[in-house]
Amino acid sequence: MAEKYQNYINGEWCDAGSGETFENRNPANWNEVVGIFPKSDGKDVERAVSAARKAWDAWRLMPAPERGMMLKRTGDIMTARKEELARLMTREMGKVLTETRGDVQEGIDTAYYAATETRRLFGHTAPSELANKMNISFRFPVGVAGIITPWNFPMAIPTWKIFPALACGNTVVFKPASDTPATATKLVEILLEAGVPAGVLNLVHGGGSKVGTAIVEHPQVDLISFTGSSAVGRTINSRAGRDLKRVSLELGDKNAQIVMDDANLELALDGVLWGAFGTTGQRCTATSRLILHEKVYDKFMDMLAESAAGLRLGDGLKSTTDVGPVINEGARAKIHEYVEIGKNEGARLVVGGEPANDGDLAKGWFYKPTVFGEVQPGMRIEQEEIFGPVLSVIKVNDFDEAVRVLNDTEYGLSSSIYTQDVNRAFRAMRDIQTGITYINGPTIGAEAHMPFGGTKHTGNGHREGGWEVYDFYTETKVVYVDFSGKLQRAQIDVEY
């Protein structure tokens, strides 16, 4: 019998008020029910927000390093349970076990980094323009944070958001993706074991239309952090903006890898295979476009076709598997629709292009790694996010054209260039319009202690990870201390 899970609200595990539930199934074997979860609604969100609001005063007044010790213990527990968490994650979202171990490790790294940042929530001091006066700034928590996360990194992305929010003294209402609620529940259990008090962290399972919308529109939720599609992000930004909430959005992309004529082709091949087909292409940083210099195009395409065709599909728990399933039937249908669009646009299908239904693969939602050649800039498969194992390859004449093609989308998250020319590398760092650029590495592989985010329609300018995320979760308060014993008027009683 499948395990039954609950919400966590105000220090208690509980069912949805309606009593309704939904199933979470293994995308590699749709017959396997991973768990049964509460199908919550706005009433459950109301209880969670109320609990978070009541808990905020005590939590914000706790010394930040004491909050940090809880996050350090969280990292310790995650380390001890890494294999268990990784195996559960593979069962509920499909990516191979080596990747889910990496997903957990990123959460561990984020825990330890957040723990140390609680001793580094620095303000500033600055000279005053007046005598016997001091200027100081401090950082304070904002309030209740609504955290809405996707399914493709069910441990890493929630930790990117929840750990800094808690470190800064905010309380949290957390809605994980309905495709990966079990991993999210385990994360909450670990935080509670580490000592996070009742009401500070609240977990509400359910769909975006009822739970997500209720969080975004609740008047006592002060800030929203969301990772997901651009379409949903625009809706969230519009609704939250009516109440002037602080909003951080990490949205879609169409990342590209450039391979120049002087590149190490074997290294570039390893990079694009990992970037395009790791996590079955279901990463916001996945390599969706490959931009090849004309001098290496034919040779590299032969290398790529042979390697992509040799990738082994299967259950991510098996050591022989290179590529797992896509997340669900709807995702596979969307991917195949884009493949048909590509063929109709005139791109040449080189490898893949169809679901994989042989043997045990028929039990899940598998799609063959797919490569299109002769893709032209402006084609839909070159411009629109597919979020699956589909790679579009474009031929260019030189470096300048490569950069123009890379920049010519509405997105700007990640990018990559393979070259042995240091001058080209530095021009790429300067001219590529993305938040992340890799030199001689794939478009995936962000590290927990560095800012993560993009330009243009990839988001709204905030960053996850690193030191910058702590600015999002805090308010700056400026304090002027005048010990002159008299009225001093800034900008008036000053002569230069």
Domains in the chain: boundaries: 3-251+459-478, 255-439
Cα 448 off chain centre by: 11
Distance from C-alpha of 6 to C-alpha of 445, rounded to nearest angstrom:
33
Q: At residue 438, what are phi and psi to the nearest 5 degrees?
A: -105, 135
For 435, the 3-state DSSP assignment is coil
Residue 376 has pLDDT above 80, yes or no: yes
Catalytic entry in 117, 284, 382, 385: 284
The tokens for 46 are: 């109301």
Strand order in the sheet with 125-127: 125-127, 133-141, 474-482
Residue 1 has pLDDT above 80, yes or no: no
Query: What confidence tens digit (pLDDT) does each residue in 149-162 have?
Result: 999 999 999 999 99
Distance from C-alpha of 472 to C-alpha of 454, rounded to nearest angstrom:
15
Nearest to 353 by CA among 327, 392, 321: 392
Distance from C-alpha of 191 to C-alpha of 154, rounded to nearest angstrom:
15
Residue 57 has pLDDT above 90, yes or no: yes
The tokens for 50 are: 């109320």
Residues 6+ apart with CB under 8 A from 340: none
What is the CATH code for 3-251+459-478?
A: 3.40.605.10
Distance from C-alpha of 407 to C-alpha of 275, rounded to nearest angstrom:
18
Task: Reply yes or no on whether 14 is catalytic.
Answer: no
Distance from C-alpha of 141 to C-alpha of 58, rounded to nearest angstrom:
12
Tell me what pLDDT residue 325 has. Answer: 98
Is the model's pTM score more than 0.75? yes
The tokens for 304 are: 């790529």
Tell me what pLDDT residue 494 has. Answer: 81
Query: What confidence tens digit (pLDDT) does each residue in 78-91 have?
Result: 999 999 999 999 99
Catalytic entry in 250, 382, 385, 464: 250
The tokens for 384 are: 């629109």
Distance from C-alpha of 343 to C-alpha of 161, rounded to nearest angstrom:
39
At 69, is the pLDDT very low, low, confident or very high (cuts 50, 70, 90)? Answer: very high
Distance from C-alpha of 205 to C-alpha of 6, rounded to nearest angstrom:
8
Cα dihedral 403, 408, 413, 418 in deg (nearest 10):
-20
Beta bridge partners of 173: 146, 202
Residues 6+ apart with CB under 8 A from 446: 285, 414, 436, 452, 465
Query: What confidence tens digit (pLDDT) does each residue in 465-477 have?
Result: 999 999 999 999 9
Listed as own residue / partner, the contacts of 487-496 with beta carbons closer than 8 Å and 24 or more positions apart are 488/130, 488/131, 488/133, 490/129, 490/130, 491/129, 493/130, 494/129, 494/130
What is the mean predicted confidence (pLDDT) over 265-281? Answer: 98
For 415, the 3-state DSSP assignment is strand
Cα 332 off chain centre by: 21
| CATH architecture group of domain 255-439 | 3-Layer(aba) Sandwich (3.40)
Per residue in 3-12, is it b (16+ CB within 10 Å) or e — as a string? eebbbbbbee
Percentage of residues in the chain with pLDDT exceeding 90?
Answer: 99
